[in-house]
Amino acid sequence: MFDQLSGRLEKMMKFLRGEGKVTEKNMTEALKMMRLALLEADVNYKVVKEFEARIREKALGEEVLRSLTPAQQVLKIVRDELTGILGGQQKALIFAGSPPSIFMLVGLQGSGKTTTCGKLARWVAGIGKNPLLVSFDLKRLAAQAQLKTIAASLGVSFYEMTPDEMASPRDALKELMIFARNRAFDPLIVDTAGRLHVDEDLMEELRLVKDILKPVETIYVGDAMTGQDAVRSAQAFEEKIGLTSVILTKLDGDARGGAALSIVSVTGKPIKFVGVGEKPDKFDVFHPDRMASRILGMGDILTLIEKAEEEADTDEAQELARKIRKQEFTLEDFRKQLVQLKKMGSVSGILGHLPQVGPLKNLAKAEVDDSKIAHFVAIINSMTSRERENPKLLNGSRRLRIAKGSGRPVHEVNQLVKQFQDMQKMMKKPQLQKMLGGLK
């Protein structure tokens, strides 16, 4: 989403590095480049203006002007200010002291609110909670069907209300609370009504539900693809019913990213999660500092490590390290690593977490066809166990058989074998062996 903005800001920093030292003149030119980049990214004008003023004041301070590396100092200032715009520190979900905690999700129709309810339920279940999903749209009873389907697909509990119960919302929610407490559900994740635009009928309904529920979190779900429309809607929800936090959906899209860079400043509420894809696991805790680093092309290695740790099997990783150290790495091991990589998401998405400057720049910007991984796994699956252990057995006739069995052309089989052989050569290098030497 931030590719265009990242490219523009990278050009700004390159311009400053070429200047040797920071002066008021070249800083004015650099800030102009930054201002245009942010406005083109659909960032709120008031936010841009205040952001620019803060950077100008700090960048022309004595510490930067006397620095031997002024461009790096300015980069640090821009990163810190971007982090501030995005919310400063990562903010955790608030849970009630006396369960069940109630999370009420609000937003416009089409923002991904119902899907986000499911993603949030999956996430809290992953930290040891016992969530209960409930749909509370007083006018559109069919809204329950979608959430019920999502709950079933995730193996999460769902509380269904009848039309008669919906007609008396206070009594219905009283029964819901008794049900939740008796069965130790925590939190309750409540989907609410949505409309194509903000109107008083919607706000009145949401105020009624909020008054009855008294949620510990009232979370606005905004579509990042809609840019400033999402920001304006969030502001309206904050003014009319009051919010505690924000979840932005579709942050993996091609929009310019202005919503993420504006919504915290405009509403005063933190972004706590972001949706980065349609699948239930494409849901990340939002870290302002990491997002600021990614926008500036500095990468987000911490998130990449966390993704790897979520999918990694520690014993398997140690065994792999031992095999590499002993130079016993086989095609079967290669297949396992490809499957593990696929679990972490798209390869292009993984590479997008790498720094876009420095030695990893070309790798971070590489365009990778994710289908290649599936093709390589299919090819290895078509080999015998002896062939996986000893690729030297793969003569012409065997490669033809493997190609037919996997449904891939022979040149792809050759390509896989060549890449595997290159990996084996790399694993023999002293630097890698030294790095793995401490692993038992």
**Could you give the 3-state DSSP secondary structure of residue 357?**
coil
> What is the DSSP secondary-structure string of 130-168?
B-EEEEE-SS-TTHHHHHHHHHHHHT-EEE---HHHHTS
How many whole angstroms separate alpha carbon 124 and alpha carbon 131? Answer: 7
Inside any domain, residue 342: yes
Does 114 lie in the same domain as 28?
Answer: no
Does 128 lie in the same domain as 77?
Answer: no
Does 331 lie in the same domain as 226?
Answer: no
CATH number for position 354: 1.10.260.30
Inside any domain, residue 346: yes
> What is the DSSP secondary-structure string of 377-410?
HHHHHTS-HHHHH-GGG--HHHHHHHHHHHT--H
CATH number for position 289: 3.40.50.300
**Residue-wise pLDDT tens for the chain (440 aa)?**
566 777 777 788 778 777 667 778 888 888 888 888 888 887 888 888 888 888 888 887 766 656 556 677 777 888 888 888 888 888 999 999 888 999 999 988 888 889 999 999 999 999 999 999 998 876 666 778 889 999 999 999 999 887 777 778 788 888 888 899 899 999 999 998 877 677 787 888 888 888 888 999 999 998 888 777 888 888 888 988 899 999 988 877 655 667 778 888 888 899 999 888 888 888 989 888 888 877 776 554 455 445 555 555 556 656 656 666 666 778 888 888 777 766 665 555 544 544 554 444 443 444 446 678 888 889 999 999 999 988 889 999 999 999 999 999 999 999 888 888 877 777 666 655 554 454 44
Does 285 lie in the same domain as 309?
Answer: no
Domain of 76, in residue numbers: 3-85
Does 242 lie in the same domain as 315?
Answer: no
Last residue of a domain, one of 29, 51, 85: 85
Does 41 lie in the same domain as 9?
Answer: yes
Does 237 lie in the same domain as 152?
Answer: yes
Does 210 lie in the same domain as 269?
Answer: yes
Burial state string for 85-94 with b = 16 or more CB within 10 A and e = fewer than 16: bbbeebbebe
Inside any domain, residue 271: yes
Helix (H) or strand (E) holding 235: helix 228-240
How many whole angstroms separate alpha carbon 437 and alpha carbon 40? Answer: 50
Inside any domain, residue 232: yes
Last residue of a domain, one of 34, 58, 85: 85
Does 108 lie in the same domain as 171?
Answer: yes
Amino acid 205: pLDDT = 81
In the block, residue with structure tokens 């679990």: 343
**Could you give the 3-state DSSP secondary structure of residue 193?**
coil
Residue type (1 letter), 249: T
Inside any domain, residue 96: no
Does 234 lie in the same domain as 341?
Answer: no
Edge to edge, what strands does the sheet with 157-159 contain? 157-159, 132-136, 188-192, 102-106, 217-223, 245-249, 271-275, 283-285
CATH number for position 50: 1.20.120.140
Inside any domain, residue 420: yes
Distance of CA 118 to the CA centre of its chain: 16
Amino acid 373: pLDDT = 81
Which value, to the nearest 10 degrees, does the dihedral of the CA atoms of residues 337, 342, 345, 347 take?
Answer: 80
Last residue of a domain, one of 298, 313, 338: 298
196 DSSP 8-state letter: S
- Contact yes or no for 134/114 (Cβ under 8 A): no
Inside any domain, residue 243: yes
How many whole angstroms separate alpha carbon 299 and alpha carbon 323? Answer: 30
Inside any domain, residue 93: no
Number of domains in the chain: 3
Does 240 lie in the same domain as 115?
Answer: yes
Does 287 lie in the same domain as 146?
Answer: yes
